[in-house]
Chain A
Amino acid sequence: MQKLFRWASKWWPGLIPLAVMWGFAAWNNTLPVEADLSARSSAALKGTVLDKTRIAVDGRDVSLVADAFSEEGRRDAVTAVETVPGVRLVDDRTRLVPEAQPFVWNAERDVVRVTLSGSAPLPSIKGRLTEAARKEVGGAEVADQMGLARGAPPRFEAAAMLLLDQIGKLKDGKITITDTKVSLSGMARELGGREAIAAALKNLPEGFSVAANDVKAPPYIFQAYKDPVAATVTLTGYVPDNNVHAAIATSAARKFFTEKVVDNLKASLGAPGSFNTAVVAALGALSRLSTGTLVVSDREVKLSGDALYEGAANDIRAGLGKDFPKNWQYKPEITVKPAPGPVDGTVCQQLFTDLLAKGKIRFTPKRADIDPDSAAILDHLIETALRCPTVNIEVAGHTDADGEDGFNRALSEKRAQAVIDYLVKAGLPASRFTAVGHGSTQPVAGNDTDDGKAQNRRIEFLVR
């Protein structure tokens, strides 16, 4: 021991080169040590959930700045850095992200973009929501303006994801989660979209409820355009289902006796009540116009066009309102087509024959009540009768051979008389018309087929 102290008293000169070495070691190693510890600390924080993380290393001391999402997460992060080998001290400058009260999240859609705003509980959820929005809206831009905050209700992510699924069904609008209350507003992209959204909202996670669902459906539109030049009636827009579609198509084919029906209708949910009744009535009115447009938008019916004569115009303007279901609005804009020039009896006869070859006056079976679907052909017959005011006209009724002769004769005469009554009501003088009932005595086709019988049941106009 004595020796050791004696030797040691002579060791001091070595301290000078040692101090020089120390200086070089410090000069060379300070920055590499700091870089190494910084990298190790960042690696240690990989598994933790933090926002705005900043690591600064001074010597072997680490200063950690970060926003944590829970007290536990904050402690875990500090511990993780403290246990990095080589770290001497940790300057803990972490804090908890602020708590949002109430916790609000919004998704807003306009024409070109979806804006996500409000608060998200975690960066990963924020990322997933943005990603989901991007997937849902396809080409539109997604703007992420969400901040991070604590205080989200349980199952927030599931609720937000479900609502983001709905954003694609909106043309524009806003979806908001306020704590556990969900509110929606805006306009659905397509018919049925509103109903689909309402149905999806039933699957909201437990605890969430719908405070307001003000999503509006786009108007339910049905349009018909009668083009006398192309001799077509084009039907476009929506019908509730295939049955109504078939009913409307059949009805249109009966009403428009000279035009071809072009059917471009699509089936869709969201039709207003009594849609079928209203549309059939409106098509009846359109069939009486020489040219016209019918637009049914929700519960509003707009009909514009030219009637064949003044009486028909008045009838369409006034009478049709009665045919519509209650709480429907009817807005007719009917003008009268300029009257064509007068013609003589021969031309008149030709016109009558042409008209009755194209269409038929229909009656209720076995009765003399005129079917309302015949309004269009009757209007055309009246228009023609008005062109030859001086001639007298015999209205002849014919039946098929079914039933007794006496009944058929009486029925055919009654039907002829019903037609005359209709003409008189439209303003023609009764003195110009005589009703004749031929029963089944003048068939134009065989009575052994249904088709033949249908041809034999007819009304003829004969100029006398």
Chain B
Amino acid sequence: MPYLVSFHLGWLIGSVLLGFCMGWISVVQRGNGTSKVTARWLAALAAALVAASFAHVVPGRFGYWLDLGLIMFACYLVGCTIGAWLRDRVVARSMRAG
């Protein structure tokens, strides 16, 4: 894990930034987003991929790509969370001020 992080640091920072932007937008975006059922399916898919990664069942280069994808995805989620939370604070403050 530390090796993967240090080797792909640039790409991971990119993922975090992408996530940050997406999170920032998501707070004020109108619309319904994904349905609960779809979200559950997506979560289950993610969990299955993480399990496959930890169990080392995917061989060779595909295994490496899976690990890389998951770690980028994790960074994206972290970026999204931070972005959404900060935007939420900003929105709340402006509403109080308004």
Contacts and interface: CB of A to CB of B under 8 A. Distances in A.
B64 A60 contact: yes
A17 B77 CA distance: 13
Interface of A: 3-15, 17-18, 21-22, 24-26, 29-30, 33, 36, 58-61, 85-86, 88-89
Contact of A59 (B3, B32, B63): B63
Contacts of A8: 26, 33, 39, 80, 84
A18 B19 CA distance: 9
B34 interface: yes
Contact of A21 (B21, B26, B62, B72): B72
Contacts of A24: 11
B73 A18 contact: yes
A59 B19 CA distance: 27
A21 B17 CA distance: 12
B63 A7 contact: no
B65 A26 contact: yes
A61 B60 contact: yes
Contacts of B11: 21, 24-25, 29
A33 B81 CA distance: 30
Interface string B1-41: 01110011001001100110111011101011110000100
A380 B65 CA distance: 111
B14 A33 contact: no
B62 A59 contact: yes
* B interface bracket (residues with beta carbon within 8 Å of A): 35 or more
25 contacts: A3-B88, A5-B39, A7-B26, A7-B88, A9-B33, A9-B34, A11-B23, A12-B34, A13-B22, A14-B76, A14-B80, A18-B15, A18-B72, A21-B15, A22-B69, A22-B72, A26-B65, A26-B68, A29-B8, A29-B68, A33-B64, A58-B60, A59-B64, A60-B67, A86-B3
Nearest to A60: B64
B93 interface: no
B14 to A, nearest CB: 6
Contacts of B26: 7-8, 10-11
Contact of B23 (A5, A7, A30, A58): A7
Contacts of B67: 60, 88
B36 to A, nearest CB: 8
Interface of B: 2-4, 7-8, 11, 14-15, 18-19, 21-23, 25-27, 29, 31-34, 39, 42, 56, 59-65, 67-69, 72-73, 76-77, 80-81, 84, 88
Given A6-B33, A85-B3, A22 B68 contact: yes
A88 B63 contact: yes
- Of the listed residues A10, A17, A21, A58, the one surrounded by the most CB atoms of chain B closer than 10 A to its CB is A10
B20 to A, nearest CB: 10
Main secondary structure of the interface of A (DSSP, over half): helix
Centre residue among A11, A17, A33, A60 by max chain B CB count within 10 A: A11
A2 B69 CA distance: 27
Contacts of A18: 15, 18-19, 72-73, 76
B12 to A, nearest CB: 9
A14 B84 contact: no
A5 to B, nearest CB: 8
Contacts of B84: 4, 7-8
B31 to A, nearest CB: 7
A25 B22 CA distance: 20
Given A22-B68, A25-B68, A17 B18 contact: yes
Given A25-B8, A33-B7, 6 more contacts: A4-B81, A14-B19, A14-B21, A21-B15, A59-B63, A61-B59
Nearest to B56: A89
A196 B29 CA distance: 99
Contacts of A86: 3-4, 7
Contact of B2 (A11, A26, A85, A88): A85
A414 B42 CA distance: 141
Closest 9 CB pairs of A and B: A9-B33, A59-B64, A14-B22, A86-B3, A58-B60, A10-B26, A59-B61, A7-B84, A10-B33
B67 to A, nearest CB: 7
A400 B97 CA distance: 157
B56 A88 contact: yes
Contacts of A12: 33-34, 42
A362 to B, nearest CB: 103
Nearest to A63: B60
A13 B22 CA distance: 8
A85 B60 CA distance: 16
A3 B91 CA distance: 13
Contacts of A11: 19, 22-23, 26, 76-77, 80
Nearest to A28: B11
A8 B40 CA distance: 12
Contacts of B22: 11, 13-14
